[in-house]
Structure 1
């Protein structure tokens, strides 16, 4: 790294970094105020207001790259210099030049709905909750498949519904290791209600939102699905940082990585839309 012990990423370099790295490789840190974060943040970002950075530096993971960002780059540059000079990271420290103002990527309003997991104190409970969220997402995309029978909409929703069930199987593999006599996957999956999607939205509200845009263009309908996937990615990424259970963190990171694949698939489907 340079003399300041951190590196600068342009918006283009930042997007390239996210595309080419696994979730386990880095931590994205938003150093703005809570009110700013709530108005919109990059999905997956951990909130750490600048005033708290210096006292919380050694709570940051040493084995991952650290990427700081803010509104226009000023605060994140200072935060990155603190992290670099403090040598809290064995990897690289970056800051996003120009902050959110320089970036055209999607931002999310509000906070990740981590309260979904509030009652889940043990690993088994965390994984059971995650399983139910994946069931909710699967139900939503099956609903969308039935609602739109023409491609590229039908094909896109079908592919993601298959992937959502695959996520549930991934979680189940961790889950069954913790249970002395776990039920078979299909029996457990069929018993799940799936009333809430993985991004924290209720199944009912998600379907209602879909109906509200049903007569809109193909790209607008897929954009709604993309918003849901971004929220799911955001939730799992933040949960991976908040849980004290390492196995759960690893599982959430793996799912967050898969959600990025969903977003890429939806983006490709949008390109196929004719209107």
Structure 2
């Protein structure tokens, strides 16, 4: 009987387990972001074109020399374009005592959200020296700007698309409130006016997209309900990916903790949009 992600997880083995993309997605959805490592073993240019949110890039050709970058105390899910290189990577890891899960079909078979851009994508908004206050101001601004973007786009001819855009705009109001609660959990005297003032000069929407990039993704086309939701999923995936990449280079533990909390929230937002997509015909 073939091993699956859940049956294989408890102990490292000398051979890796193979999991389908659906099994891998379910595995990650049920776990916190700290409970596994998602490893992209393709080349840098492939990662730049598209990658799974939060994936760590270590090309297969470099993996043997960079094992120290891959935590040993948690399962590692490997993927590539179609499953060949990731199978070799999983075998190498398993042979070194890791619990390794190879995602069959790779990113080609992946049906979930993907992020794009290189390792520095969007990080101009989140420099390594960014303080907790800087990070929270950026998060607040990006949620606010995305809500405004959805509201502006809710003027097309498709009534279902218009309705979902209006709903997404309301979601962003809730997401702004989440950032405010997070800010107050770290600094109880923070108020919304202070966050807004600090965020006023930031024009980016979630994930670090500029306003023109965001508009090109949705407002310039006749969007259906499904188009809108897929675009929303892309924004949330990009935000998750941005926060996780920023976490790894944060200047201090407080900033890293806030970035991780924001990433957890983006994972929840993706799940909400995913459920909406599941109820939308292709």
Instruction: Tell me which of 171, 182, 195 is aligned to 1:159.
Output: 171
CA contact under 8 A between 1:30 and 1:68: conserved in structure 2? yes
> Structure 1 residues 61, 243: CA separation in 2 closer, same or farther (over 3 Å shift)?
farther
What pairs with 1:97-176 in structure 2 (closer than 5 Å)? 97-111=104-118, 113-117=121-125, 119-121=127-129, 124=131, 127-145=133-151, 148=154, 151-171=163-183, 173-174=185-186, 176=187
CA distance in 1, matches of 2:267, 2:280: 20
Cα displacement (A) at 1:211 = 2.6
Deviation at 1:75, TM superposition (A): 1.8
Query: Quick check: 1:222–1:266 contact (8 Å CA) kept in 2?
Result: yes
Maintained 8 Å contact 1:240/1:249? yes
Q: Secondary structure at the match of 2:193?
A: helix
Instruction: Please name the residue that 1:58 is paired with.
Output: 68
Aligned Cα RMSD in Å? 2.9
Q: Against the structure 1 CA distance between its residues 165 and 204, is the aligned structure 2 distance closer, same or farther, given a 3 Å change threshold?
A: farther
Alpha-carbon distance, 1:151 to partner: 3.1
Q: Distance in 2 between matches of 1:129 and 1:22?
A: 21
Inter-partner Cα distance in structure 2 for 1:5 and 1:274: 40
Gaps of 5+ in 1: 177-181
Q: Specify the alignment match of 2:264 in structure 1.
A: 257
Offset of 1:273 from its aligned partner?
Answer: 6.0
Do residues 221 (structure 1) and 216 (structure 2) align? no
* Match of residue 211 from structure 1: 219
Deviation at 1:199, TM superposition (A): 0.7
Instruction: Tell me the distance in 1 between the aligned counterparts of 2:210 and 2:22.
Output: 35
> Structure 1 residues 268, 119: closer, same or farther in 2, change over 3 A?
closer
Q: Unaligned stretches of 5+ in structure 2?
A: 1-10, 156-161
Structure 1 pair 201–168 and aligned structure 2 pair: CA distance change class (3 A): farther
- How many residues align? The count is 263
How much has 1:228 moved relative to structure 2? Answer: 1.2
CA distance in 1, matches of 2:92, 2:235: 35
Query: Which residue of the other structure, out of 15, 26, 49, is the alignment partner of 2:25?
Result: 15
Shift of 1:274: 8.3
Q: Any idea what the Cα deviations from partners look like across 1:157-177, whole Å, max 9, x if unmatched?
A: 202331233134324534x3x
Moved more, 158-167 or 225-234: 158-167
Shift of 1:210: 3.9
Distance in 1 of aligned mates of 2:143 and 2:134: 15
Compared with structure 1, are the counterparts of its residues 7 and 244 closer, same or farther at alpha carbon in structure 2 (3 Å cutoff)?
Answer: farther
Structure 1 residues 148, 21: CA separation in 2 closer, same or farther (over 3 Å shift)?
A: same
Instruction: Report if aligned partners of 1:31, 1:75 keep a CA contact under 8 Å in 2.
Output: yes
2:52 pairs with 1:42: yes
Matching residue of 1:93: 100
Q: Deviations over 1:205-235 (max 9, x none)?
A: 424644313x422222232222211111111
- Provide TM-score, normalisation by structure 2: 0.79
